[in-house]
Structure 1
Amino acid sequence: MDARTVELSTPHGPARAHLTEVTGARAALMLGHGAGGGVGAKDLVATAQVAEALGISVALVEQPYRVAGRRAPAPARQLDAAWTAVAGHLTPGPFAGLPLVTGGRSSGARVACRTAGAVGAVAVVCLAFPLQPPGRAERPSRLPELDGAGVPTLVVQGAKDPFGMPPGGPGRTVVVVEGDHSLSQDLPSLRSALTEWLDVVLPR
C-alpha cells in the first residue's frame, strides 16, 4: 500500500486528501468528515481500515474550510462543489478505472448523498446520518437527501443518536450499533457491518 497526502484545488480553496492506494485495488472509497470534526474521527479511521483490508483504496478528504483552519462549516453548495472537484481529480488519477464508493460521517454523509450522481458513485456509506437537528422539530427532515442518493446506501447509526434514526428503504441498509452520534462506542459492530455490506455491493 502507498500512503500519501495531497492538496487538490477546488472552487473554494484547496482541499486535502489523505490517500492510501492499495495494490491491485478492486474499488475506491472517498470519505468526508463531520461539520466540526476532522478525518481522524474513530469511525472514519475504522471505515478506512476495513476498506483497505478488503482491497479498496481510500481517500480521507478534508474540506477547504478545515484546511484553512476554520471549524465553522461552509454552506452546503460550497461543500458539494469542493467534494465534486476532489472526485474530479481522483477518479481520472489515482482512482482511475475503479468503481467509486463515497461516504462520510454526519455532514460528510449528507454531502456524499447529495453528490452521488454527480461524481458517479456506485454506492454510499453514511456514518451517523444527521436526520433531524436535535431540539429543532420545526426544521425539515434530511431524509430526502438520503433518499436522493440513488445508489445502494449503508447507514450505520448509534442507537442513542440525538439526530434520530433514519428508516430503511429500497436499496438502503440501516445498521444500529451501541452508542450515540460519535459511533466510537461500538467500533467492532461498525467494522462488521461495513465488511459485510462492502462485499455485497462490490463483488470480488
Structure 2
Amino acid sequence: MVLFVSFGSGGTLSSLQMKELAAGLEGSGQRFLLVARRPDDLVRTGAYFSGEGKMDPGEYFPASFMERVKSGKGFVVANWVPQVEVLRHAAVGGFLTHCGWNSTLESLVYGGVPLIAWPLFGDQKMNAALLSEGLRVAVRVREDENGVVDGDQIAKLVSKVMEGAEGAELRRRARELKEAAGAAMGEDGSCNKAVADLAKRIGVTEKVTVT
C-alpha cells in the first residue's frame, strides 16, 4: 500500500517542518506519494500567494532523502496531482491530509481510506476533530510548543494507519463511509432526492442528478 500526502492548494509547511516530514516518512518504512510545495516560514497559507510556479523539491528536502526516494520507496511531485484519481487508486492505503473540506469529502467519497489529520488553518481543525473524534476514521498529529510535528511522531502515526489492528479498524470504518456516500449519491439516494426536491421547489423541470 501507498500513503498519499498532500496539504491542499494553500497549505504550506515551514522549512523545518518539511525536513521533519521527510524524516517521518522515511522513518515509517512505508511507500508514499508526496505532493510538495515551496515552504514558507511565516504563514501556513503561503501557497495561496506564491502560486504553482516552477519548484524543485530537491531544494527544500535533504539531499540524502531525495536520493533514497529514488530507490522506489517514495515519490515526490511538485505542486499538484489529480487528487481524486489518486484517492480512487487501489494501491492507496492512507491519506495524510490538511483536512480541507474538499479533501475531506474526496477522501471519504472516493478513497474510503484512513486518514492522518494534520490541520493547518481555518476550519481544518474542526474537520480534523470530526474525522478523528466523531467519525473515527483518522488519527491526529500533535504539534509541539513551536508548532512543529516531529519526525518520530509522523513515523509512528504513518505506521499506525498503514498496518496493524488499529489501522485495519480505521480502514473498515472508512470503507463503510465510502459505501454510505455511494448509496446516498445513487439514483434513488438521499442526495439525489434532496437535489430533485430543491429543483422542483425552484421550478427546474429537467432531471438533475448528483455526480
Determine if the TM-score, normalized by the shorter chain, exceeds 0.5. no
TM-score by length of 2: 0.41
> Does 1 or 2 have the higher relative contact order (CA < 8 Å, sep 6+)?
2
Structure that is richer in helix per residue: 2
Larger radius of gyration: 2
